[in-house]
Chains A and B, each alone.
Chain A
Amino acid sequence: MSVLKTPAEAPVPAPPPARSGAPGSAARVWRTVRTSRPAAIGLAIVAVHIVIALLAPLLTPYHPTTGDAAHALLGPSADHWAGTDQYGRDVLTRVLYGGRYALGVSVTATLLTLALGTVLGCAAALRGGWLDDLLMRVLDAVLSIPAILVLLVIVTALGTGSGVIVLAIGVICVPQVVRVVRGAALAVVPQDYVTAARARGEGTWAILRREVLPNITDVVCVEFAMRASWVVLLISSLSFLGFGADPPTPDWGLMVSENRTAITVVPMASLAPIIALATLVVGLNLAADGLSKAWGVDRIREGS
């Protein structure tokens, strides 16, 4: 019988008391990847996406934003494997380059969110009391407004630069990360070694860095993969609505919205970015699932 708990107080299996240092955790990830098939497949897909995004200029002879109007709306052929769009731009080239925007913005935004969310979540768990109460109330209020609405308002106010989008994603995702990390940290705080550190007179920051953080690395890693998949989806939706990447930037969401009207003529122009987007997110989700299962992080229970 599973006792219901609110997501903030999700049961997190007590982390092993053994501290996992930096070199140890790298080895552990590698061991997990070798034993867990979903994690391996997921991380491999993400790695392929990263490599393609980095090597895009080497992989294709075409330019992503300049087209040849004489060759507009072509079907797949030997010259253009995925055909061309209404401006005669090579679809495959734009898909290959499209990963740069999606990955660049998403990874930056996710890293920032996770860093801030982890610090806030740990601080809330360590300090407790009014700080915790206040923080959770404010975060609840932020969560009550739909993500896409917050994004739209921020982007209308400050413009559609990638810096603004990273900031906006931070505002939206930090509350969720804080909830998860706080839940995990709450399981660590009552442990004897934290009490011992407190008795030694160590400061909050030192306890956080040396005692709490090493023991919630698992949760944070899984949260990274899971949050990244969510952010990629959100950013592509924003681009699709016309508030994300500005044309002619090659971006998957934007490509779908541009080529949707011509879907009867050149279906590949819409399908290719869809496949790219879907595989990246499936990869991230598989990685999150595989890692959480291998490490015993109860991901679904953590309100994600």
Chain B
Amino acid sequence: MRGVFTFIVRRVVAAFGTLLLSSVMVFLAVQALPGDVATQVLGKDATPDAVAALRKQMGLDQPAWERYFDWIKGALHGDFGTSLVTTKPVGGEVAQYLGNSALIAVVTVLFAVTGSLVLGVLAGLYRDRWPDHVISTVSLVGMSIPEFVVATLLVLAFSVTVPVLPAVVLYGPGAGTGQLLPAVWLPAASLAIVMAAYIVRMARTSVIDVMASEYVTTARLKGLSTWRVVTRHALPGALLPTLHVIALNVAWLVGGVAVVENVFNYPGIGKLLLTSVQNRDLPVIQAIALISAVVYVICNLAADLGSMALNPKLRTRGGSVR
């Protein structure tokens, strides 16, 4: 039992270490962007006095490491500074957009994970027969086309040819869930298709591995029905390696929404990211980068702990992973 505890503690500490390191990187990268922020806010014609005053007000005259600690301290309390463009607190703004993106993310993950597990298991069970060929080919194509292409094709199919879903969102970030809901399906479908392709491949491989294992053979020899062998013996084992691919893909979503939301003009975190990059709104970029790092680290941690819970071997040998 102690082994499990040490393992969990070590994983959590490592996760915090990674997060700390990425926060430093985010800060340094964004600070390294050329151009003085104060000059940028005031415009090129500003007097040197005004620029100096603003720099002092924004704390830019402090050394970098002091600014980093201020930023982290604020971030821990949900205070990410004020936007250079809207002059509103970044935290609230990002939270609003993030909520809208979460709507897409939940729908995407739900559909992509269930759909791809079913397809992956089917392909694995019917290895080298026609269902496998069809599913494998489709998933190869799915992972070979970028999100914006899937999105464009879906618009062509469901907004132009058969106009049932909106191609562009006309609401701002403050729109209610009810208003945004019709606009969620196409972006979510675009992301789900790309995401599912990877999970299908992983699930297929692990099902094939597990079906060839001795304990599945034993279960078969005991005379259990195929359904029972698959659901009770094969699936739990096959899910284990797939868990990490799912975690990686959920983390990938943060980047994926950036592209897809811009195709549909959906008021989410990706749209906010692109506008902030265009306007060089540094505090917003920093906040989004930090939040996505947190999502990535949490997803990986969850996958590691989840696979430990599923795999008795890892539970008893505690520290053997990493």
Contacts and interface: CB of A to CB of B under 8 A. Distances in A.
Interface of A: 1-9, 137-138, 140-150, 152-154, 156-157, 229, 233, 236-237, 240-241, 243, 253, 256-257, 260, 263-264, 267, 270, 274, 277-278, 281-282, 284-286, 289, 300-301, 303
Interface in B157-188: 160
B30 A153 contact: yes
A197 to B, nearest CB: 28
B170 to A, nearest CB: 16
Contacts, number: 158
B255 A148 contact: yes
30 contacts: A2-B237, A3-B311, A4-B307, A4-B311, A6-B244, A6-B304, A6-B322, A141-B18, A142-B25, A144-B296, A146-B252, A146-B254, A146-B258, A152-B277, A153-B277, A153-B285, A153-B289, A154-B29, A157-B33, A233-B146, A240-B259, A241-B274, A253-B146, A260-B263, A263-B155, A263-B160, A274-B149, A277-B149, A278-B149, A301-B205
A145 B140 contact: no
Contact of B34 (A2, A144, A147, A157): A157
B32 interface: yes
Interface stretch (B37-45, B67-75, B207-215): B207-215
B144 A281 contact: yes
B148 A237 contact: yes
Grouping DSSP codes into helix (H, G, I), strand (E, B) and loop, the B interface class, with mixed when no group exceeds half, is helix
- The 5 A-B pairs at the shortest CB distance, nearest first, are namely A146-B255, A141-B21, A281-B144, A141-B22, A144-B296
Main secondary structure of the interface of A (DSSP, over half): helix
B21 A285 contact: no
B17 interface: yes
Contact of B144 (A4, A138, A229): A229
A139 to B, nearest CB: 10
B262 A274 contact: no
Contacts of A153: 29-30, 33, 277, 285, 289
Given A157-B33, A256-B152, A263-B156, A144 B19 contact: yes
Contacts of B258: 146, 148-149, 152, 241
Nearest to A298: B205
Contacts of B240: 2, 4
A146 B255 CA distance: 5
A278 B144 contact: yes
Interface string B134-153: 00000011011111110011
Given A277-B149, A278-B144, A144 B273 contact: no
- Which of B202, B277, B321 has the largest count of A CB atoms less than 10 A from its CB? B277
Contacts of A289: 140
A2 B238 CA distance: 8
Given A156-B33, A229-B144, A145 B25 contact: yes
B288 A141 contact: no
Interface of B: 17-19, 21-22, 25-26, 29-30, 32-34, 140-141, 143-149, 152-153, 155-156, 160, 201-202, 205-206, 209-210, 213, 215, 237, 240-241, 244, 248, 251-252, 254-255, 258-259, 262-263, 273-274, 277, 280, 285, 288-289, 292-293, 296-297, 304, 307, 311, 313-314, 321-322
A165 B255 CA distance: 17
A300 B22 contact: no
Nearest to A280: B144
Contacts of B29: 150, 153-154, 157
Given A1-B215, A256-B149, A145 B33 contact: no
A147 B255 contact: yes
Nearest to B311: A4
Contacts of B145: 274, 277-278, 281
Contacts of A240: 146, 148, 259
Given A145-B22, A264-B160, A2 B210 contact: yes
B305 to A, nearest CB: 12
Contacts of A6: 244, 304, 321-322
A162 to B, nearest CB: 19
Contacts of A285: 140, 143-144
B148 A256 contact: yes
A6 to B, nearest CB: 5
A248 B240 CA distance: 48
B18 A144 contact: yes
Contact of B148 (A253, A281, A300): A253
Nearest to B317: A3
Given A156-B280, A274-B153, A282-B140, A236 B146 contact: yes
A152 B273 contact: yes
A300 B141 contact: no
A284 B144 CA distance: 9
Nearest to A1: B213
B152 to A, nearest CB: 6
Given A138-B21, A149-B255, A274-B152, 15 more contacts: A2-B206, A137-B17, A140-B18, A145-B26, A146-B255, A149-B292, A156-B277, A237-B146, A253-B146, A263-B152, A278-B149, A281-B144, A284-B144, A289-B140, A300-B201
